Structure formats: structure tokens, C-alpha cells
Amino acid sequence: MPERKTNFLIPAIGAVVAVVGGIAVYTYFSKGPAGDISGALGSAKLVPASAVMATYISTDAQAWSKLQQFGTPEAQKLLTKTLEDLNKDMFKGSDISYEKDIKPWVGGVMFAVLPPSTIKPAQFPTPGNTAKPSTKLQQETNILMVVGIKDKLAALNFANKLKSQKGVQSKEYDYKGEKITETIENARPTYNVVVNNSYLLLAPEKQSVEKAIDTLKGQPSFANKEGANNLISKSVNLQNTLAQIYVPDYAGMVQQLAAASNQGKALPPQTLSQLKQVKSMVAGVGIDDMGVRVKAIANLDPQLNKFQYQNTPAKILAQFPGDTFALISGNGISRGWQTLVEQSKDYPEVQQTLQQVRSQLKFANIDLDKEIFGWMDGEFGVGAIPSNQGVLASVGFGGALVFDTSDRKTAEATFIKLDNLAKAQRINIATRKISGKDVTEWQIPKQGALLAHGWLDQDTVFLALGGPVADALAANKSSSLDQSNTFKTVTGSLQQPNGGYFYLDMDKTVSLVNRFAAQGRPIPPETTALLNSIRGLAATATSPDKSTSQLEVLLALKPSKN
């Protein structure tokens, strides 16, 4: 996106841009402007129906103040200083203050992305010193900003103060009875107009503001656009919502944004077909007692949606030790593989890659589809487990893959073939018992097992990276992951049942990162302060029916000790 568009509010209308950053800045530490998420519909009525997406940011002080209950003192001090520096830089060279000039009048803020506008072709010099236009038209994405006004007098005072700033030029012109102000600073224009004495409209292109005025006068709006109205009124069930994003036509949005990119290439038909599986989407960010939570709801086309979702029983979690610090779990890898194979028919390069992998494995007498993925039809988990022993001593952790299967016979035959391949490479293959379970190891002289595999029960097989990880899985002496306090705290509020988890224990992860950083460049104190405020990260997905897919992400934060 061209620089002029990216920075259209800096610095001429920098004070208003600071609203967005300032929302997070000042309402975090003090009472901020009102403008909760219910104001999205009113703002959307001023956005042209041609908008491909819109984002509404709440300025409700009560919602933002919930952040104060989290974070270490070091993190809060760092955030305070960072935001104070941002404020100084934003208003450098002016006497504008967010606290005095902006906060009193600003309500909620909506950003809308309008269709790209075609601009003149770039001019390129030729050997004859003449300008020759390129044959390809460039496109730019248009941004329209709708700012709610809760105090009309304070907004007027700000507008007058902005006009009086040194180096700022402004002029007004009439459009259908509304006064549009063009403000120019550093040769960058910005257009704004106050409508109904309740909203300030801002854009880098006057056509965007004019289209918004057309919408005000009766042209179709984003609020009554097919699909958009339902999205705006739909609740994503968040507490203290800070922002919501509305995409009424997902494929159309991606198409238009791709056209506005530097390459400006049209999407291949196969890609477009994939995108059309998602009809529309709404997402939100909120704050609750656990931390910052994100939820997204996608409306799917059931005729195009090929993936068959199933809830996971979550029993696989009990197979991982309690100190597992990272995990991805799910269900039915074989079904996902079948979907990928089916869809690869539309992508020659993907299909070619699959055929190459199949051919290579055939040399080892292994069938990729049947003997690798075919038996992975149950629940699965992939985890990272700390260990300082054996081959893991230098890295501090190992990995584990655990699969439930209804086809033990094929799985066993596959591991036998893999063991034979290792033997052919002169790797020592040995078997030992761990808590009565037979475990096969690929051993490295004087270092122990590099890989190990075995059966935890009749239907559950594991593959471990590192002998110590195999011991932890097979012996199962410690409490399991699903009984871990951190895991229960970080994932316990996510929707259940679900399709599986992504989980990260931040304390254990940071400890390992610090270990590697000590050998090279240490982690900056600022980054450490922020990481120490995070308890963990968790995500899950659900699909109540074939027309709906839901994603939930939680950044679990530690309570403030102030």
C-alpha cells in the first residue's frame, strides 16, 4: 500500500490517529472516553455498502480499565513510559494534548476498507528522456474513518486548534450541503467532515468522504448490506469488548485487497474457490478475568466445505506429563489428509509434490496414504517436554507425538518398516521395558536414544524425540497434563467440547528461551518484563454445524500484584 495512504493521518490529523493508540494508552491508566461496542451500528450507517470490511474500536473506559488488573509492576512501568513517549512523538512540534484536546469528545472509532481506486499509471523515463506510461493501472485501498463525537463543543475547539497549528493549511468546500475540510501538511491531504453533529468522517481521498455523505443522504450503507447487518448485531459472547471486525464477503475482501497489493495479480480460480468456503466472518477482542480473549465466527458454505469436523474426547491429554509446556492436539489426521489429497487435484504443484513424496517412500516399501496417514484416525497430540538428560542435555527439551488409532496392525507394520530403514543406515535399534511397556529405541553411541516408540495402551502409540521423553510418557509417574494447574487455568475457560487445543506455558517457555539467549544475545529487559506478565496462551476451534466454524484464543495474563 503506498506510503501516503498508510500515513494519511500523520501528522495533519495526527491527534485523531492517536485516538486509536490513545484508547489503549490513556484509558488504561485513567477514565477515558465513552463509546462502547453498541455504537458500531450507528457508525456503520455512514459507511458505504461497497466497504469490504469494517473494524469498530470501543472507547468505553470501563472495558479498557480491566487491563489494570493484570501485569507485573515492571511491565506496567514499561507500558506507561512507552505510551508517554508515543504521545510526545505524535504531537511533537504542536501544543495538542490528547488529555485536554481529544479525550473529552471522542466516542467509538470505526475503520472501513473501501474498494481500491484506480490511479494513474506510474511514469517511467525512457532513453529519450520522455515519460512513457506503464500499461498496468495501479490500485490503492481506501480507508474511511468514522469517529463518534460525544461532546460537540470540545470537538469544535479541537478542530479550530488543529487548523491553527504551524504548517497546516486547510480549506473548505461544499458537497451536497455538507462542508468538507481539506487539511494539508507536508504535502499530504486529509479530508474530514462532521455530519449530524455526531460523527467525524476522515479519509485520505475526498471521494471516500463524499461517498460517506452519499450514504448519509440515502445511498446503501454497510449497516444494511447483505450479511453485514447480521454480523454487526451478532454477539461473539465476549466480556468488555474492545474491538470487533466485520467481513460480510470474505472471498470478495481478499480479492480486492489482492488487487490493491503491489503485485496486483488476480487470484487463481482454485484459490478463489477455496476462499469461497468462508462466506462471512465476525471477530472480537475482549478482556475478562483471565486476560485478553479473541473470538471469531465464520459462516461457511456447507456445499463447499469439504472438511468433516469432529469433537475430540480430550483423553490424549492424560498421556502427556504435567510439565509439558507446549501442545497441539486434535482429531482425525487421516480425514484431514484425505481432504488435502482431494483439494490438491486443483493445484498441480501440490499434487506434484505429493506424488514425489509417494514415490520416494515407495522405495522403502511404504505407502504414504495407507501406512503413514491412514491409521491416524483417532485423537492425536504433539507436545514439547523439558529434559536435560541424554541427547536432550544441550537443548533442554524433547518432543512427543501420541496417536490413538483403530488400526493397530497397520501402525505396528509401519514402525517395523521404519526400524528396518534405520538399521540399514547403521543405527542401533534396541528394545527395553519401561513400566512394563515395550519401547523400541534408535540409539546413538554414548548419548542414548535419539528416537523411541511404543504402545501406551491397546490403541495408543507414541513417538518420542529423546529417550528421557519416552521414560516420561511410558512410566507416567508424575501427574498428567490435564491435571496441571497451569494447563487448567489457561485452557479451562475455553469452549468445550472442542476440536483440540493449542497450548503454551509461558513461564517454562521463557525459561528455555533465556537458556539459549544466555549463549548469545540476552533478551532485552523490556521484552522480559512483558513476557513475565503472561501466564500462557491457548486456542481452540469448534464447529456446531457444517455452516459455522468458531475460533477462540486466550492470552492468559498474570494478576497485578500492585
| pLDDT at residue number 29 | 39
Judged by DSSP in three states, 437 sits in: strand
Ramachandran angles phi, psi of 329, nearest 5°: -130, 160
Instruction: In whole angstroms, give the CA distance from residue 524 to residue 387.
Output: 26
List Cβ neighbours of 360 (8 Å cut-off, separation of 6 or more).
none
Judged by DSSP in three states, 460 sits in: strand
Closest alpha carbon to 474 in 438, 450, 449 = 438
| pLDDT at residue number 430 | 95
Query: Which residues, listed in sequence order, are joined to residue 53 by a DSSP beta bridge?
Result: 113
What's the grid cell of residue 552?
Answer: 477462540
Closest alpha carbon to 64 in 111, 22, 16, 17 = 22
Closest alpha carbon to 214 in 249, 181, 189, 177 = 177
Query: Which residues, listed in sequence order, are joined to residue 441 by a DSSP beta bridge?
Result: 430, 452
User: What angle do helix axes 14-29 and 73-90 make, rounded to 10 degrees?
Assistant: 160
Rg (CA), the chain: 29
> Cis peptide leading into 115, omega within 30 of 0?
no
Closest alpha carbon to 560 in 64, 29, 70 = 70
Closest alpha carbon to 513 in 531, 490, 526, 495 = 531
Instruction: In whole angstroms, give the CA distance from residue 237 to residue 259.
Output: 34
Instruction: List, in sequence order, every beta strand (DSSP E) within 105-240.
Output: 106-119, 123-125, 131-133, 138-149, 169-175, 178-185, 188-195, 199-203
List Cβ neighbours of 84 (8 Å cut-off, separation of 6 or more).
none
In order along its 562 residues, the chain shows pLDDT tens digits of 444 443 443 333 333 333 334 433 434 433 333 467 788 999 999 999 999 999 999 888 888 888 888 887 877 777 777 767 766 666 666 667 777 777 788 888 999 999 876 554 444 344 444 444 444 444 566 899 999 998 888 888 887 777 777 777 888 999 999 999 998 877 788 898 989 889 999 998 999 999 999 999 999 999 998 888 888 887 788 999 999 999 999 888 888 877 776 566 777 777 888 888 899 999 999 999 999 999 999 999 888 887 778 899 999 999 999 999 999 999 999 999 998 998 888 888 999 999 999 999 998 899 999 999 999 999 999 999 999 998 898 899 999 999 999 999 999 999 999 999 999 999 999 999 999 999 999 998 888 899 999 999 999 999 999 999 999 999 987 899 999 999 999 999 999 999 999 999 999 999 998 888 777 777 888 888 888 899 999 999 999 888 999 999 999 999 987 6
Instruction: In whole angstroms, give the CA distance from residue 181 to residue 158.
Output: 14
Q: Residue 246, CB half-sphere, CA atoms under 13 Å: how many? A: 30
Query: Which residues, listed in sequence order, are joined to residue 385 by a DSSP beta bridge?
Result: 398
| pLDDT at residue number 456 | 96
Judged by DSSP in three states, 530 sits in: helix
What's the grid cell of residue 334?
Answer: 487421516
> Cis peptide leading into 11, omega within 30 of 0?
yes
Instruction: In whole angstroms, give the CA distance from residue 531 to residue 533.
Output: 5
| pLDDT at residue number 460 | 97
Contact in structure between 268 and 328 (CB atoms under 8 Å): no
AA letter at 544: P
